[in-house]
Structure 1
Amino acid sequence: MSTAQHLAAIDLLCSREFPAEHGRPVDVVGAVGAVGGPGYFVVDLTGPDGHGDEGAWAYAVAEEQAYADRESLAVLLTERIGRPDHIGLQGMALRAFDTGHDTGGAIPEPWATVSSRHGDALVWRTDNRWLVLAITRRDPESPVHFLAAVTDVDPP
């Protein structure tokens, strides 16, 4: 997906009503997958070919591209909304682990999905919603994901 397509996907999600049930599929053109639920949407902006081939080198290239895509989109969003906050996601996941719950129980969606992997996020607060751009991966040998989330749920 291009930066223009990423921005269009985010604009679409920001303008929609949230679904009443968790895990509802959401149609976002060009996105690998999008789901929503009460108070949130999460979309994978990586694209169908964005993971690269198996192997550390390919994953490193895919990660570099994901960060470049996020930064391009962040420039446009910063012009519209203002400067984002930068947060590490590991703390949320560790907090859920330390409490003995899986991330879905201890941390509300979409934060559970966004923080279920190692990574970091840029976060903007709009009038009544949060906008999150996250780069995540399970471990150094797994594919990178470029996620966007729109939510009215405050970060934990």
Structure 2
Amino acid sequence: MKSLSVFAACMLFAGVAQATVQYEVSGVLAVSDCPAGLLSEDVRVNLSTNVQAGIECNASQVAVGTCSIAGRTTSRTVEQLDCTSAPGPDDRFGNPTTVETCVPFVPPQFTETTGAVIYTGSSAQGTIIPGYDGAACSAAAAEAGAQGRLQ
């Protein structure tokens, strides 16, 4: 999916910064959006039609959230994941990190949800996962999902 190309680009960068950027259309994540050397160059954010995104930066990570304003929002049943956090290795700047691991419950557990699916990923965790917070898709909702992935 084109909207996730920004995630792949962001996986290449790490450093020290704090920023919040929201996109309702394609745009650029500028080096100055994540100050202190987190990005070595501007990153082009290419969004597909109806896709919105939010990007968060912190001391050593970039996280991306995306959703589609044309996506499903009706009630549906989704599988729950069992997520745990543990201390991870220090990043390249010596900052402590946290490693979050999400696995399916055994036996599987399901819940009813509504709202948009917010797909998120981060340079620290790598895996893109769906989130169901019950909100409508917006750049702000995507950014909130990204913020939740930062450690």
Shorter-chain TM range is: 0.3 to 0.5
Q: Select the structure with the greater relative contact order (CA < 8 A; seq sep ≥ 6).
A: 2
Structure with more of its chain in helix, by fraction: 1
- Give 1 or 2 for the bigger CA radius of gyration: 2
Q: TM-score with structure 2 length normalisation?
A: 0.38
- The structure with more strand, counted as a fraction of residues: 2
- Superposition TM-score, scaled by structure 1 size: 0.37
